[in-house]
Amino acid sequence: MSSLNSAIKLLKMIRVHIVAGGFLAFSLGALLAIAGRESFDPWRFVLVYAVVLLGDLSTHYSNDYFDVEVDRYVEHRKFFAGSTTLVSNPHLSSLSRFVSVALLAASNLLAVGLVLFVGAPIEIFVVILGASLAGWFYSAPPLRLISRGLGELAVAGVTGFAIPGLGYLAVKGQFDTLFFCFAVPFVMYGFMLSLSLGVPDVEVDRKGGKRTFAVRKGQRGVFLLILGLAVSATLAFFAYRWLFTSTFMDLGVVALFSLAPLIAGLVGFVGVFQKKSVDRFSALIVASLFAFNMLMIAYLAVLLAA
């Protein structure tokens, strides 16, 4: 019974909504390639997503393990925050670290196997290795990126480039101009995501020695940067509509989708300057980014069905 209880508590450390976001980002990258009239191998899609999923799950355990001292300051757990399971169950700490390392190793070994035995491009291993290092050292010493002011950039790179990039590679097998163009606003959205997730925990992070952007620049600085990123991403999509006239999709439609994060960023910016609670605005921005991904996926699926 004790082992079963421990297993249940370990499973509760997984943030399902974070996994869902990763699947959306991976699927969006894959659909970008498929809609470009690339052939689709469902088995490769599943196997490459398994690489992503294993790496993603590893970060849930490693971040909780290395942030346990910071989590002791948490009074009210936020929806997107860590589980704080290890605070009340310190006996699971070693097991949590073991699970994290095992998942990370499995992710990279699977990527190596895909390259060696399935003919997958070596870029898949290179990208997942980079994402793995960023995910591990996000909170792990000696680098501990979150304590060096680099945590948000690491999240932006992983969520905006690595995960959709792996979806794209799973279908197309190589990067091209189309993906790199989309990666620019995607990374901006990843940066918005990381900033939005961190701003509600600014006091806890300050006590725990984290040098997040919110700790260094304050809540107003965060929402100003978020608004700037949202505006830049929308301008990028409108610029692409003017620059690329032969793409398989209407980039004007994509630009319209980008209004969701833009409006959310504007609402958050106005709200924080009116000294309202930032939690709701943080959640609104995260929801708008989910909405953008889902709108993009639905649009690409319609193009495929046409």
What domains are defined for the chain?
2-305 (1.10.600)
Is the predicted pLDDT of residue 154 greater than 70, yes or no? yes
Q: Give the residue from 296, 191, 306, 187 showing the smallest Cα distance to 251.
A: 296
Average predicted confidence (pLDDT) for the chain: 92
Q: CA 13: distance to chain centroid? A: 17
Instruction: Give the pLDDT score at 205.
Output: 83
**Which of 66-80, 123-137, 230-244 is least confident?**
66-80
Give the torsion sign (CA, 172, 107, 149, 73): positive
Is the predicted pLDDT of residue 236 greater than 90, yes or no? yes
As a whole number, mean pLDDT of residues 180-188 equals 98
As a whole number, mean pLDDT of residues 8-33 equals 94
Instruction: Give the pLDDT score at 296.
Output: 98
Please give the structure tokens belonging to residue 184: 């620019």
Q: Report phi then psi at 99, rounded to 5.
A: -60, -40
**Which of 3-7, 102-106, 178-182, 233-237 is least confident?**
3-7
How big is the chain, counted in residues? 306
